[in-house]
Amino acid sequence: MKKIVLSFAFALVSVFTFAQTAWSVDPAHSSINFSIKHMGISFVQGRFDRFKGDVESPNANLDNGYFNFVVMTEFINTGVDMRDDHLKSADFFNAEKFPEIRFQSGAFTKDKGNNYTLKGKLTIKDVTKEISIPVTFGGITKNQKGQDVAGLQAKFTINRLDYNIKYDPTGAGVAKDVEINAYFELVKQ
């Protein structure tokens, strides 16, 4: 009987020790937006209309979580069909050959207050690079269904040439740097 009780206690401790908290992106309350300078005088803004993401955390919050986000390049939207078609072409994202942009984190560490640093690998087309993304954690609350939800905001810049998006390599017409603003509402699973 003692062995059964000890085995049950060990199994229970193991479950709680290795339990993960899972979160998923709520696309209705999230967005991935970008802005790029055009002709050196103005900006073109756009967004990706289809994406998904998950977070696995060893805690009830997101500390030390593992983030995995996927953006579908076919669903780029600048509000101008002709420009969107060009962005999907081989000149830019080559959406047919490279249908996804991927981010997989390595570390999510707290800085000060609600500020964190998310480090990981960003893959665009055939290039994967390590990047650090500053993240503002909005907190955790309950939604209208009583589910735990968490809010995150990330703002960072990448050089498109680093990811083989080589159209206009001088940057005179289409700038090299792309500013990305991502807003995520995550729902605890």
Q: What pLDDT, in 10s, does the model give residues 62-90?
A: 888 999 999 999 999 999 999 999 999 99
The pLDDT of residue 63 is 82
The pLDDT of residue 2 is 53
pLDDT above 70 as % of the chain:
90
Query: Is the pLDDT confidence value at 147 over 90?
Result: yes
Burial of 161 (0-12, 13-18, 19+ CB in 10 A): middle
Contact 115, 155 (CB under 8 A): no
For 55-127, where are the alpha helices, taking DSSP H only? 81-88
- Sequence spans of domains, the chain: 20-188
Return the CATH superfamily for domain 20-188: Lipid/polyisoprenoid-binding, YceI-like (2.40.128.110)
The pLDDT of residue 10 is 42
Within 10 Å of residue 9's Cβ, how many Cβ atoms?
A: 10
pLDDT in tens, 86-127: 999 999 999 999 999 999 998 899 999 999 999 999 999 999
Nearest to residue 136, comparing CAs of 113, 119, 153?
153
